[in-house]
Chain A
């Protein structure tokens, strides 16, 4: 085998034209609405056609055999197993937690999921049910899903969730404020929620379906990261379109570039409409070829989903046994 060594000087691909990059100071950027607005407007645009073409090209990757099994296990370990219904009960949440900790009790090789995601009033139930497991408890908060409430109400929501034992808080941004150009207000809310989270990790939901353009998605992602987000997340799952591969690409580019400029690592969570193994693997391929290996861990990439887990388990059995598992071969929850 002839191996070509990297020749010439390796260069760091640093986020482009970020005027503030040389003296990057996130807190001072966030504290001045006009500076923040200038900074966000200076981010390079996203070409819609090109972005979607790249996503479509990544979707043609053919993930088979050993790599598929590896991807399935990775995807399982990245799931935020979610129930966000008005009809949620203690019983429903406890059953979900059991599944989260041991998705396939008969096979110890199947990893636990990353977290269970519930409304704040059910955090205590989830916390108790997951006491002896590694699964984290995530809670949506800040008047999820619309976020149309005062900051005081949003913070109270967050305090509730954290006090009940949430390890992770999934907040929503003020999309109306963002679209109106009141990005200072959007940023202030994130800063305040981050403070209210204490040790809990903060995932910031952009609700990209309402932001509509990839340029907006990129700017909202940078705004959230500058304001202190530990994760940027696509959607609530309550608005269509929810997560898409092109949106995930834009977020992955954002966290990659942000890490290059600031050295701080932010994760990405895609949520909503991810139901099949094929969908999940497409996202993993996008992570692999955009942000790279370093993001292929539950600490940096999550899949918010509910029915996805069972499809992954069925496909996992198919990989191991060669036969397709029926719907009733895996537990409903």
Chain B
């Protein structure tokens, strides 16, 4: 096969260069500083500190937020307890639904503001926060609003009771969406919440707090305490918390499980992943390539269920890799606020360092590294989309979660080998299967040990569908009817 430059890939003079199309940052209406949202109002910290939140794409300080101290956490948990024993806990389900519907509608009304805040604070492209994060967050509230008055029909017994006060700690990759995943089912089931957003991405949760006020949600039903790991640790260790829900790294999840062990607390954990995306030779290859791109380069690969291990049937591997490289050459990396940007910034220097370390390990261990030509902005934290071929299952890049735009390509010969390699991981959050053969999809889904198996698509989320992990990817389900189970004493 002759090697020649491909038409339409970088290098050729661009006939049709897209002009910058920046979204307005004024709609974010950022304040210079934010307090804690406790008992229905923003208030100053009792014993906390100040935390600066920084834009990953420009390194500018966006705002100062509170680093809540132990007494702040006490106050938040106490407010949640009062609301649970008072207005929220005693409210009929139909009434709770009314508030949830109202929150969902307000998220839609303020969608543009939320999308801009999310993109500024997280570094993800505005296209994704606008088209994925915010609409899905609203959809979760809509969905669980519908359950609030139907809990006795949800399959958890005739009169399922809420657990009480939920302490919820969420990650920085989908800040608003993860808040919605945690709050909506908890509130629908009649619990009250103390939510701790991630240290590097607190802003959208604070806008959400403003929305909760606007919705006139009873005071204390939701409390939002910003801070770092110490705040989160104080929250999950707090005696007044009945339920701990955490999404984040497996390492932190382990510590949380240790701290909760032997207490009355219920626990659900949604942790890391190293998903296999399996492409059979008979797949619709152009769409499979789209799915591979969406699987690992969506949100800069900062996705716990990212399809970070691509398993291709050996007979089509060179073709698929070549098609993938051509497609990657059209990805646009740069200013996340530009509506045409596909790949944004890496959320923090710590995360960037981790990605760099693992990518370097890939090279050291003998895998072939490739990135499309692209220019990284000077300021901010960036990593180019990267593909490793000739990856062996023993390499670190095939085993450890990179949580960045780095794809490891492996091959297989038979369906059995695909299943064996896909399951050969300590994680088990998601998997993808690409084939035009329906029976093979069902057979593979049966054998893959992953909470979610996508067929001929990847990274598609819907509030009606449960999401969660096997093995070290955690336990408990979010989304769907199953998601209610995490917040009900069945």
Contact = CB atoms under 8 A, between A and B. Distances in A.
Contacts of B5: 10
Contacts of A295: 7-8
Interface residues of B, number: 60
A64 B322 contact: no
Contacts of A46: 284, 286-287
A7 B284 CA distance: 28
Interface in B360-384: 368-378, 384
Q: Which 9 A-B pairs rank lowest in CB-CB distance, beginning with the nearest?
A: A292-B8, A50-B287, A62-B21, A13-B322, A8-B370, A47-B284, A62-B339, A47-B287, A294-B7
Interface in A61-83: 61-68, 70-71, 74
Contact of B12 (A4, A11, A63, A292): A292
Given A51-B286, A62-B340, 17 more contacts: A1-B378, A4-B375, A4-B376, A6-B372, A7-B371, A9-B368, A10-B3, A11-B318, A12-B4, A50-B286, A51-B287, A53-B457, A60-B339, A63-B18, A67-B19, A289-B8, A292-B12
B64 to A, nearest CB: 30
A306 B319 CA distance: 40
B192 to A, nearest CB: 38
Contact of B316 (A10, A17, A65, A285): A17
B436 A293 contact: no
A64 to B, nearest CB: 5
Interface string B3-23: 111111110111111111100
Given A11-B322, A289-B330, A292-B6, A4 B371 contact: yes
A45 B284 contact: yes
A131 B181 CA distance: 67
A288 interface: yes
Given A13-B6, A70-B16, A3 B376 contact: yes
A256 interface: yes
B55 interface: no
B201 interface: no
Contact of A4 (B4, B8, B16, B374): B374
B127 interface: yes
A107 B3 CA distance: 45
Most buried by B among A8, A60, A71, A297: A8
Nearest to A300: B7
A293 B322 CA distance: 18
Interface size, A (range): 35 or more
Contact of B21 (A10, A47, A63, A284): A63
B445 to A, nearest CB: 17
A117 to B, nearest CB: 24
Nearest to A11: B322
Interface of chain B, main secondary structure: loop
B14 A293 contact: yes
Given A12-B1, A12-B2, A47-B456, A1 B376 contact: yes
Nearest to A292: B8
A182 to B, nearest CB: 25
Interface string A225-258: 0000000000000000000000000000100100
A66 B19 CA distance: 6
Contacts of A3: 373-376
Contacts of A9: 3, 368, 370
Contact of A8 (B290, B323, B369): B369
Given A11-B322, A12-B322, A45-B284, A2 B378 contact: yes
B10 to A, nearest CB: 8
Given A74-B16, A293-B8, A296-B15, A7 B369 contact: yes
Contact of B370 (A6, A13, A68): A6
A23 to B, nearest CB: 13
A284 B20 CA distance: 17
B1 A1 contact: no
A14 B1 contact: yes
A325 interface: no
A17 B281 contact: yes
A180 B180 CA distance: 52
B321 interface: yes
B325 interface: yes
A7 B370 contact: yes
Contacts of B326: 13
